[in-house]
Structure 1
């Protein structure tokens, strides 16, 4: 005990404790600066907090940040271990016992007081601590910069030998936002509808008119050459405010009739026979199916129109796109008294659904909270045909992308309805 209280040993103990404090500082700083919210730091920076500016700069130079902190942490830990070994050698003499005791004591001290304790504190309030340590860490990194740069060059060189690109990142900003929203959805902090709306905003720039249009097979149209009374009945019974009007062939769209114009003419004339449908037609607006949704939205705004006809590269009618269709991609379904809830989708007790073949994959994913791919097909029937490379018959069953598809009915070459549910079966072209 008397040897422990000698001045030289007391100084040595003080130095070791100081080094442990420094090690704890480096450990807590590493955790705080890597866990700090970039969003909150950006907001604090805009409010004029200069410490937040330093934190943001440190986060953006992540390699130098980690390199400097790890270098400093290892230096103080190694020096503390050497001094502890010297202290125990003074107390117990040189030998394996003194070395073993010094190793055990130092391991416990570093683990508890220089690693677990400071990191636990830092992870509980990373933003607050990051602002506190930002300036001293910045100075330390600047001081250690030459050594860190050499270490980085060696590390990057070794990684490149194994084909690792340290600059590559598979995640985009949109992916990070989606991941955060999904996490908060699971924790109950975000409602599913809010999640869908955020997703809609992030993904709308990737969509084309073809992805959100009403397909021709589901399109209501009227023949200009049919009797006026029948035409009016069809328009009023459709439940739509605007309808394409064709002459002779359904591809020959000659105009758009608006219910408001039709009712105004009926009110003015008082008789069906006196209504001249041809004069009520508005000129059709044709847009290519490859037009981006964002571009089409701006076009609707500039032309003050809500309705356009979609054509393919050969000019054949593919469907219609409305302003409502685009807005629904952001805010979700906009239903009125004429709309059916989840039209074409009937949920089943096993968690699956009976789905009409022409239901859009995006709508089904949103309704059922599924993740069916929509890169190669727009409708659920199109997805099955694309994956199976054939036109299935009723009764056939397939498994793709973690979902099971059972064909319920087919008419000509079109899948009319099918049952879809999640499964753990491997992808198979056809199941027995």
Structure 2
């Protein structure tokens, strides 16, 4: 190898006789264009030696050793880019995994943390904007810096390979791994979310302000959250993962469906209801219904108007000659098309155990009791030792069908 007076370098590998010529812009630095040799002093060679300022002698094929300064910059850009992106992805996954129920539970145990996390979730756009801004800056600066240093150290021919390696490292080390960790260990990471994200929001406030101005101009639709659907889906997931029993899943689902179930589907049909007349005496009641399994009886007049109801326990303390209208309790009338959730709330507030159900034509069609509502929630009939029929609605339909057959005969 020879550095001549025209600032050119002649390279040769001993044994093959091949030569290449490359311009040298700085004779004293001995730099060869394309990154073959770059040095600030004597160049290190394997099996080679430095002769003087003007010439080199290569005894064997050389091994290129990149300059340390540029390699440090290359590694620094790569580590900084991947490291910052790792933290951003970790914070993003943990923040999005925080559930309202977990934050609500912190109200009693860790009120300060509850307040800060609730604030983050309430205005989640700001921390997300901070995370995405910092992540984008890290990717852009890191990729640019790595590309520039690869060109200096290894040459432009290696730029494509370096880009592919950098893309793979970013995908695995700063996306897949941190987001998996954040989604799996968000509870453990939640204490560090608030201070870290608050600091990021404060530092990147100008970028967040600009982002908010742009998004506000584009327009932001209010989110329509189907909370009922999400809870039912969570209950189903809990069942599939064996975290919830089938009975628990059924009860949760039925409670959330109460507002969609009309009263007529939960009531006890009229055909199996037992009613009494207001003029009936206590003695007559005791003789006719004293052994009945029912405890409450609606008092109806001749026009099928509900006047009230009688509790069997009240007849024990009344005079035998007293009429039932004198000891009856007021009863509420409800529409058959109303939903069970509304009726259940009304019954609890009014301390009513029984309501008389009328259809849209004003015809009495049945009764709905607290037991009917509970059976709807549980998804099964409540049967005690005195019940002869488990499902009164099914029994009433069978009786109605049988009566129609007799009429047809």
Q: TM range, normalised to the smaller chain?
A: 0.5 to 0.7
Secondary structure of 2:204's counterpart equals helix
Cα deviation 1:365-394 (Å, max 9, x = unaligned):
xxxxxxxxxxxxxxxxxxxxxxxxxxxxxx
Cα deviation 1:207-252 (Å, max 9, x = unaligned):
78666443323322245678999865542464211223445x3615
Distance across 1 between alignment mates of 2:100 and 2:276: 56
Q: Is the 8 A contact 2:357 2:368 kept in 1?
A: yes
Gaps (5+ residues) in structure 1?
A: 269-274, 346-354, 360-407, 414-432
- Per-residue deviation, 1:410: 8.7
Secondary structure of 1:321's counterpart equals strand
Say what the alpha-carbon RMSD is for the aligned residues.
3.9
Q: How does 1:14-413 map to 2 (within 5 A)?
A: 14-48=76-110, 50-94=112-156, 97-155=157-215, 157-158=217-218, 166-172=221-227, 174-199=228-253, 202=256, 212-222=266-276, 232=286, 234-236=288-290, 238-247=292-301, 249=302, 251-253=304-306, 256-262=309-315, 275-276=320-321, 278=323, 282-290=327-335, 292-300=343-351, 306-311=353-358, 316-330=363-377, 333-339=381-387, 343=391
- Per-residue deviation, 1:21: 0.7
1:210/1:19 CA distance change after superposition, 3 Å? same
Q: Which moved more, 1:42-51 or 1:133-142?
A: 42-51
- Per-residue deviation, 1:18: 2.0
Distance across 2 between alignment mates of 1:239 and 1:67: 66
1:357/1:314 CA distance change after superposition, 3 Å? closer
Q: Is the 8 A contact 1:224 1:231 kept in 2?
A: no
1:55/1:263 CA distance change after superposition, 3 Å? closer
Distance across 2 between alignment mates of 1:189 and 1:308: 38
Gaps (5+ residues) in structure 2?
A: 1-62, 336-341
Q: Is the 8 A contact 1:245 1:256 kept in 2?
A: yes
Secondary structure of 1:251's counterpart equals coil
Cα deviation 1:10-69 (Å, max 9, x = unaligned):
133223212211110111111111112332233234323644533332222222222221
- Per-residue deviation, 1:101: 1.0
- Per-residue deviation, 1:93: 1.8
- Per-residue deviation, 1:3: 4.9
> If you compute each CA radius of gyration, which structure gives the higher value, 1 or 2?
2
Secondary structure of 2:323's counterpart equals helix
- Per-residue deviation, 1:74: 1.2
1:293/1:3 CA distance change after superposition, 3 Å? same
1:344/1:308 CA distance change after superposition, 3 Å? closer
Distance across 2 between alignment mates of 1:239 and 1:327: 18
Distance across 1 between alignment mates of 2:402 and 2:160: 78
1:340/1:176 CA distance change after superposition, 3 Å? farther
Q: Is the 8 A contact 2:354 2:367 kept in 1?
A: yes
- Per-residue deviation, 1:85: 0.8
- Per-residue deviation, 1:83: 1.1
Q: Is the 8 A contact 2:85 2:138 kept in 1?
A: yes
- Per-residue deviation, 1:106: 0.5
